Structure 1
Amino acid sequence: MIQERADPATAADADLADDALDDDFDAADAATGEAAGPRRLTVTADAAAEAQRLDKWLAEALAEAGLTRSRLKALLDDGCVTLDGRPLGAADAKRKVRAGQVAEVALPAPEAAVPEPQDIPLAVVYEDAELIVVDKPAGLVVHPAAGNADGTLVNALLFHCGPSLSGIGGVRRPGIVHRLDKDTSGLLVAAKTDRAHQGLAALFARHDIERVYRAVVWGVPRPRAGTVEGNIGRSPSNRQKMAVVKSGGKPATTHWRVVEALAGDTALVDCTLETGRTHQIRVHMASLGHPLVGDPLYGKARRAGRRGGLDAERAAVVDGFGRQALHAGVLGFVHPVTGERLRFESAPPADFQDLLTALRP
């Protein structure tokens, strides 16, 4: 017997949904019969389920809810399934079930089939018939997701570009080939035609894109330059977070360099991406013990004595910085249609500059 209850989306869920790279999204997922709004389904294993594979048991037990085995695999991969209260991952699909165990599946709210064009201002850095590069402000979600049905970059692009916007990425995220976290500012490229979309997607798949981010972190990394390598996957202890995981996840590589040591035991660093995983810089820098200033998910822990040497006014600026201090400042790639080498630079926005002013002598 399936027990069902509503599960209102949280802001963190919406942020993570926007950030997650749903490369395996299948249009069939939209036809699972899920009701509007997020839900939680609970099912208890009976004697007949003893020793069955978890994914097989769940597919049979939740068949009436319209959940296919492939859909359940995706939910497992996204950390949306728990067994006796313990979060599961993709590797748990093969585990054997014991009678009496209780599984809970969190179903995110389905997204609108077709985002509507909205007149949202865009800072256009470059545009031609094939693609567009914009400087995304902090606070703007890239595409509609749970908790953010509209008011996104996609809605703005649909208004700005009209019917020319590529739909190869799916109706929910037309033209989108990469993303920035909601509260990360900076440069982002979107495709306006199918051939540009395919070409850009190939560049990202080959990691043949120059992406440099500027960040303010707690502590001054030693040595002053290095590389972080570690698979990134859903945190086994908190499904709203990503983590460097020992097994599973996706390979991720970040190169970092200290640009400037700042007051208050902070530093300005440049991070260059080889890969583009969910929250990659935030997770990798936190794994080094240098989380980003202002990061609500990964930067809460601060050693005693930090902010030393700052007067009350400057300390207030640091404490009041309301987002992760991360800006996508450089974006370079070969134009997928013309073959021209393009490279764009963006200065950090005013709030980021105010933070740096507060932290400099």
Structure 2
Amino acid sequence: MPKIPDAFDPGAYGADVTREGNVVEVVVPETETGGPRIDKYLTRFYPEASRTKIQRAIGKGHLKVNGADVQKSYSVAPGDEIVFRLIRKPPMQAEPEEIPLDIRYEDQDLLVVNKPAGMVVHPAPGHRSGTLVHALLHHVDGTTVAADDDPATADDEEVGLSMTNALPEAPDHPIVRPGIVHRLDKGTSGLLVVAKRDRAHHPLAEQFKEHTVDRQYRAIVWGHLDPPSGTIRGAIGRDPRNRQRMAVVPRDDGKWAVTHYETVERLAYTSVVVFQLETGRTHQIRVHTSNRERPLLGDPKYGGQTVRYGPQSESRRSFFGQVFEALPHPALHASRLGFTHPTTGEALQFEADPPAVWKHVIRRLRAEEGRADQ
């Protein structure tokens, strides 16, 4: 009989069963007289799968009973011959893809890349190709990395990127992230350090944990922060009203976050602000500014793609519609990154200007709205 997961006992229900991979063949025994629904009955043979997942496979036509299609509500009868195939997504993996990269520094242990806005950092459900990791694997002449690889045999020399924390911690968390020490949101452009060797990954991660990495961001913000320079403090956790967003929450319900800022240019209804992160929480700058009613320009998740301040004329709404089309993501750029080299001890610092679309948008804002009164 083919190998079956340890949690599954083919004789537990007295059925004549074979299972190979995700396909099970069952002859229902004469003792099965209760007439259970077919979807519930099949869960006996797939201890690793939910009933909903089995129902989905039935709905897609992956079930035959006595050679015929049946519905998920079919009642099993003694002597039924069942053939069922559970739908499985291919394992999450990253393979080398030839995607241009803006490499600002590279040696045998690490590299620093200027990530474009719109690029996801690593593969995850919904983003199985075109990520920064795919591009990095091609750049280092690396090999394909899959979520079901054996962590015990993970080799940074063979892959070309650090394999520290690169594979899923649990089967329901199918993330593949070789080399990734820290992240930038998909819509955020700018500087990011990548570990090529495990020996570099650990000390780099420790620097982020100890908040000794110099991380400066530049953003275009709706309105004007008051005071023009200062510090925003507040714990960040899941928004209880929208689990797809983060929010400032009571300290016991989130992770404490500290964001320093300085306004460098005040336009009529927007401003250019430099942010310095003391902590690194999910969506930290976006959440702290939106909590002050000053969301980032173009941020669709936190209210930055509506005209927040100033006249609400049709022509002005049309103008900002063009701005949002040119900048369809938060106007946030990781402009400076400084850290200690993990193997040489050298202090490294890198700077990168915001992308060209920023300059275009700011020129248009200056021309259309003018500067704020000083």
Do both share a fold (TM > 0.5)? yes
**1:146 maps to 2:125:** yes
How does 1:54-93 map onto structure 2 within 5 Å? 64=47
Count of residues in Structure 1 that have an aligned counterpart in Structure 2 = 257
After superposition, the Cα gap between the structure-2 partners of 1:239 and 1:313, relative to the gap in structure 1 and judged at 3 Å, is closer
Partner of 1:335: 341
Partner of 2:208: 204
Partner of 2:257: 252
After superposition, the Cα gap between the structure-2 partners of 1:208 and 1:66, relative to the gap in structure 1 and judged at 3 Å, is farther
Runs of 4+ in 1 over 6 A off after TM superposition: 310-313
Name the aligned partner's letter for residue 166 of structure 2: G
After superposition, the Cα gap between the structure-2 partners of 1:304 and 1:191, relative to the gap in structure 1 and judged at 3 Å, is closer
Q: How far did residue 169 of structure 1 move?
A: 2.2
Partner of 1:353: 359
With 243-252 and 342-351 compared, the bigger mean Cα shift is at 243-252
Question: Is the CA contact (8 Å cut-off) linking 2:234 and 2:256 kept in structure 1?
Answer: yes
How does 1:165-184 map onto structure 2 within 5 Å? 165-171=161-167, 172-184=176-188
Name the aligned partner's letter for residue 111 of structure 2: I
Kindly provide the CA deviation profile for residues 237-293 of structure 1, in whole angstroms up to 9, marking residues without a partner as x. Answer: 111101111132211111111010013x00000011011111110001101111000
Question: Is the CA contact (8 Å cut-off) linking 2:339 and 2:349 kept in structure 1?
Answer: yes
Q: How far did residue 319 of structure 1 move?
A: 3.8
Q: How far did residue 315 of structure 1 move?
A: 4.0
Partner of 1:189: 193
**1:134 maps to 2:113:** yes
Partner of 2:295: 291
Note the residue ranges of structure 1 that are not aligned, 5 or more in a row: 1-34, 36-62, 68-108
Q: How far did residue 115 of structure 1 move?
A: 1.1
**1:261 maps to 2:266:** yes
Q: How far did residue 314 of structure 1 move?
A: 5.3
For residue 245 of structure 2, the aligned residue among 241, 247, 260 is 241
Q: How far did residue 122 of structure 1 move?
A: 0.6
**C-alpha separation in 2, matches of 1:277 and 1:351:** 26
After superposition, the Cα gap between the structure-2 partners of 1:303 and 1:259, relative to the gap in structure 1 and judged at 3 Å, is same
Name the aligned partner's letter for residue 163 of structure 2: G
Question: Is the CA contact (8 Å cut-off) linking 2:93 and 2:128 kept in structure 1?
Answer: no
Name the SS of the counterpart of 2:114 in structure 1.
Answer: strand
After superposition, the Cα gap between the structure-2 partners of 1:304 and 1:327, relative to the gap in structure 1 and judged at 3 Å, is closer
Q: How far did residue 350 of structure 1 move?
A: 1.1
Report 1 or 2 for greater relative contact order, CA contacts < 8 Å, sequence distance ≥ 6. Answer: 1
**C-alpha separation in 2, matches of 1:111 and 1:276:** 32
Partner of 1:83: none
Name the aligned partner's letter for residue 231 of structure 1: A
Name the aligned partner's letter for residue 164 of structure 1: G
**1:222 maps to 2:226:** yes
Q: TM-score, normalised by structure 1?
A: 0.67
For residue 114 of structure 1, the aligned residue among 73, 90, 93 is 93
**C-alpha separation in 1, matches of 2:298 and 2:210:** 32
Partner of 2:6: none
Q: Please identify the structure whose Cα radius of gyration is greater.
A: 2
**C-alpha separation in 1, matches of 2:282 and 2:89:** 20
Partner of 2:26: none
Kindly provide the CA deviation profile for residues 75-130 of structure 1, in whole angstroms up to 9, marking residues without a partner as x. Answer: xxxxxxxxxxxxxxxxxxxxxxxxxxxxxxxxxx9884431111111100000000
Question: Is the CA contact (8 Å cut-off) linking 2:204 and 2:342 kept in structure 1?
Answer: yes
Kindly provide the CA deviation profile for residues 43-102 of structure 1, in whole angstroms up to 9, marking residues without a partner as x. Answer: xxxxxxxxxxxxxxxxxxxx95569xxxxxxxxxxxxxxxxxxxxxxxxxxxxxxxxxxx
**1:322 maps to 2:301:** no
Partner of 2:280: 276
Aligned-pair identity in percent equals 52
Question: Is the CA contact (8 Å cut-off) linking 2:222 and 2:309 kept in structure 1?
Answer: no
